[in-house]
Structure 1
Amino acid sequence: MKFFLDTANLNEIEKYSHIIDGVTTNPSLLAKEMKSSSQNDLLKKICDTVKGPVSLEVISQNCDEMIKEALELSSIADNVVVKVPMTPDGLKATKKLSEMCVKTNVTLIFSSNQALLAAKAGATYVSIFVGRLDDIGYSGINIVKETAKILENYNFDSEIITASIRNPMHVLDAALSGSHVATVPPNVLTLMFNHNLTDAGLQKFMDDWRSVKNNSNNDL
């Protein structure tokens, strides 16, 4: 499974560049980082830093305006993927952009029916927001499982992005459920590296090594 880092922070992207396959952003994440540079400058820096796909989101709601904005975003770099919302106009735009060979990420998907519609429209990625579904008492991972089966049944080219990830278990469940990608916030990715037994084992190795070294010095 591929990992996309869910951030617009260049330091975080560089920190995890050895493990991530791409990046996803949104207007909220970008707003936090635009302190000393323009949006386009920041987006170019992100696309230069990441070799894999970088999802950049349109803010327009009308199909024609989405397409115009999508073409502007896709001109920033070859690895740009345009995020469009799961709306009737969004899927119209997705279909037309697909025919223009512009890669798309249909976002804010909360049902397998929505994912099916996005795949039929030619979406490169379908983003299922599991955390937000869990927040209201539904199983987001079940939607991922259903969508994986649908895509397999009909040989759709779309890939599933498990989004709105809250914790490492969401990542594990996504991997077990057939998701192609998990878009992971930096804090969750950090938690995935850590385990108390790893820390304890490393500490034991270091303590034993220091003991052996001290004994060797005492023998001199």
Structure 2
Amino acid sequence: MTRFLLDSGDPGEYKEISALFAKNQHELWGATTNPTLIAKKLAGSKISKEEALNLQKQIVLQIIDIVPGAVSAEVYANEHTKAEEMIEEGKEIATWHPRVVVKLPTTLEGFKARTALRQQNIIINNTLVFSCEQIFAICLHERIAHKQFGIKEAPYPCFISPFVGRLDDIGIDGISLVAHGIKMKQTYGFSPWILEASVRNSSHIQKGIDLKTELITAPLNVYREWFARKKQNDNVSLLPIEYWEPPKELFEIDTIEKFMQALESKKVAIEHELTTKGLIKFAEDWNAIIQ
């Protein structure tokens, strides 16, 4: 069963869309937030970094009262941010509420932070995902972390967020990455849930449902469009991503230390141009509200 999340930093939108879901015999289960969405509430005014984090916390806690499931909150990270900074902020975010999930970028430093936070049973949403290799790396890291750290069972597993719309923007079929992620999970018994993100239209929603992806997050206007049953014309010119079959030797990696060595040597390739661009855009949006 696919669960639905709203991609918004406005609690008012959650109340509106929750009512719309209920009217249509569906449930809004959770939320994804980030400083870009929260910045919209500031209408161009600037605040300190501490005030921005407190504002994010206030908004997340308001949303927690509206939805029954997970609410993702993002650490600050640009292409130069070190793991130690993400770990410190991730620990703070995780104290806000048991249903808060910490969003981390899918980068080398992000994986270092993921290691430390998973040791403390903090649930992670890996964001800015654009390749099968990234999905595999997250799944393998999670499997190794469970065995090495003895991670306790949680209400839901960690999330992986393929950014469908941003792939579409460069002529690549983002939905094909969601399909490959689901295939990889089923083939190898990986535990993280696929969270279809960067959803631009009702066709993205319907295709995610048809694929039986566990989670879909979309903005308010796209859900309105979907419930209005407005059909979208598919962009037939999009090129599908080829499925990547993980080499057998990668499954021999059985410790976090070996895993990190594989990332650093690029034996497991997680770099992606769109991940870097996403971090730069994220930092620009964040810095726009910080004085």
- State the TM-score, normalizing by the size of structure 1: 0.84
2:34 to 26, 29, 38: 26
Confirm or deny that 1:52 pairs with 2:64: no
Confirm or deny that 1:118 pairs with 2:138: yes
| Residue range with higher mean Cα deviation, 2-11 or 43-52 | 43-52
Q: Report Cα offsets for 1:65-99 as digits up to 9, x if no partner.
A: 11110110011111100000010111121122122
Gap runs ≥5 in structure 1: 197-220
Q: Taking every aligned residue pair, what percent have the same amino acid on both sides?
A: 36
| Residue range with higher mean Cα deviation, 106-115 or 90-99 | 90-99
Separation (CA, whole Å) in 2 of partners of 1:149 and 1:38: 39
Tell me the equivalent position of 2:5: 4
Greater radius of gyration (CA): 1
Q: Do 1:58 and 1:69's aligned partners in 2 also have CA atoms closer than 8 Å?
A: yes
SS across alignment from 1:49: coil
Separation (CA, whole Å) in 2 of partners of 1:45 and 1:162: 24
Q: Do 1:112 and 1:144's aligned partners in 2 also have CA atoms closer than 8 Å?
A: no
Q: Report Cα offsets for 1:175-205 as digits up to 9, x if no partner.
A: 2223111101100001111147xxxxxxxxx
The alignment yields a C-alpha RMSD, in angstroms, of 1.8
Q: Do 2:35 and 2:56's aligned partners in 1 also have CA atoms closer than 8 Å?
A: no
Q: Do 2:127 and 2:162's aligned partners in 1 also have CA atoms closer than 8 Å?
A: yes
Tell me the equivalent position of 1:169: 203
| Residue range with higher mean Cα deviation, 134-143 or 60-69 | 60-69
- State the TM-score, normalizing by the size of structure 2: 0.64
SS across alignment from 2:28: coil
Count the aligned residue pairs: 196
Q: Do 2:102 and 2:124's aligned partners in 1 also have CA atoms closer than 8 Å?
A: yes
Q: Do 1:92 and 1:121's aligned partners in 2 also have CA atoms closer than 8 Å?
A: no
Separation (CA, whole Å) in 1 of partners of 2:61 and 2:179: 35
Q: Per-residue deviation at 1:134?
A: 0.8
Q: Per-residue deviation at 1:34?
A: 4.3
Q: Per-residue deviation at 1:16?
A: 2.2
SS across alignment from 1:106: strand
